[in-house]
Amino acid sequence: MEYEGSSIFLPVHAEVDGKQVTERVKLRAFMRAELWPAYLGGLGTREFQFVIRDWELFGASRLLSRLYFGDSRGRLKNEDHPEAGREQVVMTWTLAHHYVKQGDDGDNSLGPVSGLRIDGVTDHNTDQGDLYWQVTAGSRSGVWNVRFFREAEETVAPDDVVAHAAEVEAGASFVAESPVEEPQFSYKLPFRRESHGHGLSVSWTLGRDPKDGARGKVRINEQPKSICIADDPPIEGLGADSSDFPAHIIYTANFEVWANGTQVAGDQMGIAHAKAVRGIPPRDVKVAFEKPIQGDGFSFASGMCLGMHEITREEFLEGVEAARAARSRAL
């Protein structure tokens, strides 16, 4: 896993009072990517693939504040107390997540997937996009346990659990989390179990009429894979990794765009390119941000990404929470 931070500059166009207005919005970006080992491609060049597992961008927009609030400064937080200041429209970009539940058609044991959010997905805690679940009776009447597994085994060991929630009441919200936060290494365990502890978190609601022993799975529609390809093949006699860089990198993702708590574009396909990359993340290069789309009364043009750098997991989570907080505020 790799955590990256950057700044994205995106032109936004809109018609205001009969005139075309453009603003160059600056968005802070936070990314969590899962990388796979490098290999030699069909042309003999060294390359590796990766998936953007999480991607959150957010930034205030004077233009959108003018469109939605009638004032580029934003709206007053408290009409009776102007000294409290103003709030602007915050634009956020996030990955488009789609889930399909199987084994509980009536939403009796688990709630509808419209209320589901899964964080911390990796190739080690899901089975190519599948996450298996089981509901069992709790320690007393009226409460239930929910466990999630990577595999659909009839009999599972404690180490197979990738997230669990205990003593949940029917109809109540719950958060099922990984038993451990960090990978636990042991020669006694198969490799896939060494990386369970990547912070998997499942936020959902228990059904109104759970069934003891109910089982099923959730299909997580995966993001497309991205790729990084070396410009030159390895040098003969020096080994496969003798020509990693320079390289070019292609990012791909399906995403949504929000203005505060209102979605203005959904399930869009985007792509970004960077050439002359000499490291991961691609520092000191411009990344072409090719995601031009139409919004609600405005449009986004091609932009660029600058200042990519590695960040800690804690910094990434702070950025995620800031973006989600913006999406919790109504226009």
What 3-state DSSP class applies to 119? strand
What 3-state DSSP class applies to 131? strand
List the Cα angle 180/182/184 in 5-degree steps: 80
pLDDT score for 229: 94
Task: Enter the pTM of the model.
Answer: 0.84
pLDDT score for 242: 81
Residue in the block written with tokens 């488009």: 96
Distance of CA 171 to the CA centre of its chain: 27
Q: With a cut of 70, list the residues of the chain below it in pLDDT.
A: 153-159, 180-198, 292
pLDDT score for 155: 59
Nearest-angstrom CA–CA distance, 150 and 159 = 10
Identify which of 105, 118, 100, 215 has the alpha carbon closest to the alpha carbon of residue 175.
118
pLDDT in tens, 206-264: 999 999 999 999 999 889 999 999 999 888 888 777 888 899 999 999 999 999 999 98
pLDDT score for 144: 96
Secondary element (H or E) of residue 67: helix 62-69
pLDDT score for 194: 36
Q: Let me know: does 217 contact 103? Beta carbons within 8 Å.
A: yes
Distance of CA 170 to the CA centre of its chain: 29
